[in-house]
Amino acid sequence: MSKQAPAPTTAHQLAALPAQTRAALDRWLHTLASERRMSAHTVTGYQRDVLNFLAFITRHTQTEPTFKTFDALRVADFRAWLAHRRRHDSVGARTLSRGLSSVRSFFRHLARQGLASNAHIVLVRTPKQPASLPRALSIDAADKMLAGIEADRSWTDARDLALVTLLYGAGLRINEALSLDAQDWPKRGAPLRVIGKGGKTRVLPVIGAAHDAMEKYKTACPHPLESGTPLFRGARGGRLNARTAQALMARLRSSLGLPESATPHALRHSFATHLLGAGGDLRTIQELLGHASLSTTQTYASVDATRLMEVYDQAQSKKENSARK
């Protein structure tokens, strides 16, 4: 049996494109990084999606992926690509949706540049997403987790307690917390400024427990926490990575008998859920989480349906009253 040919690398895929298409793709990726301030990881994902699409279209239409080819594509062609990915690449609805979003973004760029125009892509339905939300911990489980970290044993335990307390107490994404530098940590009583998705800055209050845990960690840390250095340090002094934080949560789940849903992101979800359940205003929680729309927060902070709808209705009433003024 002959060996299967290796998958083409990104460099080979780019080299196979017509020069004008490759130049347009480069300009689009540059726009994503410079103007929309997407991370390098996200830009790479967008590029991968579009290259996959272009490779399929080349085979599907038996023509080069030129602007003229893009103009001629129909709804059936886009659907054929999605069906191919589902059948041959075994990808789920979430990956298909992200890929379609990437291709739509590229086609919008082409249209803005006057290079190609295709109205059919907007008629392609986004694959239906499975209903899956991170499960919030109960308040007792969250307290149990914080109490389960013996911060007095070592400086890394003090660091772990500071990190977990911050994730739960401020609703941070794990990457937001780990990207903080020493000078970013505020004095007691001052707010914390965090750079979230899309390079957007949001200002967050810091609870006393988080400050106490952070001060204990900073005192115990053997590495100098100077301006320009990471706030959360790994054992050798470098920036703590997300994998280490996830391993910490896994150990806590095992030792404390917590559910598998107890992940770093679940702490952010727990922050929103518990705050909303305690009577927090939905729009305030939206700002704290850094969500662009209220509907995202409504879905994310999934608590008792009666309580959620009550708060949501209040928020909508405030919006309507403001519009009348």
For the cut 60, the answer to whether the pLDDT of residue 316 exceeds it is no
Domains in the chain: boundaries: 10-123, 139-324
Helices of type H across 8-39? 10-15, 19-34
pTM: 0.53
The interaxial angle of helices 242-256 and 155-170, nearest 10 deg, is: 90
CB-based contact 292:322 (threshold 8 Å): no
For the cut 60, the answer to whether the pLDDT of residue 169 exceeds it is yes
For the cut 70, the answer to whether the pLDDT of residue 181 exceeds it is yes
State the pLDDT at residue 38: 83
Does 125 qualify as catalytic in the annotation? no
Residue of 22, 60, 144, 197 marked active site: 197
Does 197 qualify as catalytic in the annotation? yes
For the cut 60, the answer to whether the pLDDT of residue 214 exceeds it is yes
Residue of 22, 104, 253, 265 marked active site: 265
Q: What size, in residues, is the chain?
A: 325
Residue of 173, 233, 269, 274 marked active site: 173
pLDDT tens digits along 256-296: 777 776 777 778 878 777 777 676 666 777 767 766 666 65
* pLDDT band of 312, cuts 50, 70, 90: very low
Q: Quote the percentage of the chain above a pLDDT of 70.
A: 81
Would 10-123 and 139-324 be classified into the same CATH topology?
A: no
In what helix (H) or strand (E) does residue 195 lie, and over which residues does it extend? Answer: strand 192-195
CB-based contact 107:121 (threshold 8 Å): yes
| Residue of 231, 247, 251 lying closest to 239 (CA atoms) | 231
Residue of 159, 268, 269, 274 marked active site: 268
- CATH number of the 10-123 domain: 1.10.150.130
State the pLDDT at residue 114: 96
pLDDT tens digits along 106-142: 999 999 999 999 999 999 988 876 655 557 777 787 8
C-alpha to C-alpha distance for 189 and 173, rounded to whole angstroms:
22
Q: What is the mean pLDDT of the chain?
A: 82
Q: Which CATH superfamily is domain 139-324 in?
A: Intergrase catalytic core (1.10.443.10)
State the pLDDT at residue 315: 52
* pLDDT band of 93, cuts 50, 70, 90: confident
* pLDDT band of 224, cuts 50, 70, 90: very high
Residue of 46, 168, 217, 300 marked active site: 300
* pLDDT band of 51, cuts 50, 70, 90: very high
Instruction: Quote the distance between the C-alpha of residue 187 and its chain's center.
Output: 28
Does 291 qualify as catalytic in the annotation? yes
Does 88 qualify as catalytic in the annotation? no
The interaxial angle of helices 19-34 and 93-112, nearest 10 deg, is: 100
State the pLDDT at residue 101: 93
